Amino acid sequence: MSSMKMGLYAAEIYRLQEDHSDVPLSAIADQVDVSLQAASRMINRLVEKGILTRKPYQGVRLTPQGETMAMPVIRRHRLIEVFLVQVMGFGWDEVHGLADHFEQGINEILEDRAFELAGRPERCPHGEPIPSKDGVMPHIEDVPLTMLEPGSQATISRIKAHEPEKLRYFARLNMRPGTPMRLVDQAPFNGPMRIAIEKHEHVIGYDLAQEVRVSLP
């Protein structure tokens, strides 16, 4: 089993941990686009190597060793996303899949040059923090948009979606990291949310709002 493949799994599991106390096998299989059987075989190997801990019938989490393995992969991926947007002119809806392929073909020298050319970025185009070169993940204080009370002011911090059509929709609403917004109202029982950005109001569904993280004043 190659260290590159192990690192890719570790990185995807790290991303999933934010939304799962223990990451289920089905979520991992979906994220890396493999069958449940293939994901299960890899998970078994990662557990054996001390990269993951597993709770029967619940899921897995990275060990400290696993998090150390994930950081360089996450740094490279998010840095390449910035490079593709800032230097090569791609849209933020195009770069997630491109970075998956691009990052596997660059070495440390190219990574360092991309970092400089992209302006030493601290976050990717979707607002996710970029780990430092020595493997430290910056701490981000934000909450899901769905946790706000009506009338709350906030700033969009991160967009968790990767699907191009969702990102294009968020862009049309000017819902990008760094944009101030206000929650005007929300329908009961996890209903749609009305938000105000500048002088415009938009209504978005609860499920979509869950993919938006905001920071409070």
Residue 1 has pLDDT above 80, yes or no: no
Note the pLDDT of residue 182: 97
User: 122, 106, 104: which is closest to 114 by C-alpha?
Assistant: 106
Q: What's the chain's Rg over C-alpha atoms?
A: 18
171, 108 contact by CB (below 8 A): no
211, 165 contact by CB (below 8 A): no
202, 194 contact by CB (below 8 A): yes
Residue-range domains of the chain with CATH: 3-62 (1.10.10.10), 71-139 (1.10.10.10), 143-215 (2.30.30.90)
Q: State pLDDT tens for residues 70-108.
A: 999 999 999 999 999 999 999 999 999 899 888 777 889
Q: State pLDDT tens for residues 148-172.
A: 999 999 999 999 999 999 999 999 9
Give the number of residues written for the chain: 217
Q: How far is CA 105 from CA 34, 69, 75, 143, 176, in A?
A: 22, 18, 14, 35, 29
> pLDDT band at residue 61, thresholds of 50, 70 and 90?
very high
Q: Is 26 helix (H, G, I), strand (E, B) or coil?
A: helix
Note the pLDDT of residue 106: 85
d(CA 192, CA 188): 8
> pLDDT band at residue 65, thresholds of 50, 70 and 90?
very high
Higher pLDDT, 144 or 217: 144
Residue 31 has pLDDT above 60, yes or no: yes
Q: How far is CA 92 from CA 115, 129, 175, in A?
A: 17, 15, 12
Note the pLDDT of residue 90: 96
Can you read off the two tokens belonging to residue 20? 């799962």
Can you read off the two tokens belonging to residue 183? 């929650």
Once rounded to an integer, what is the mean pLDDT over residues 28-37?
A: 92
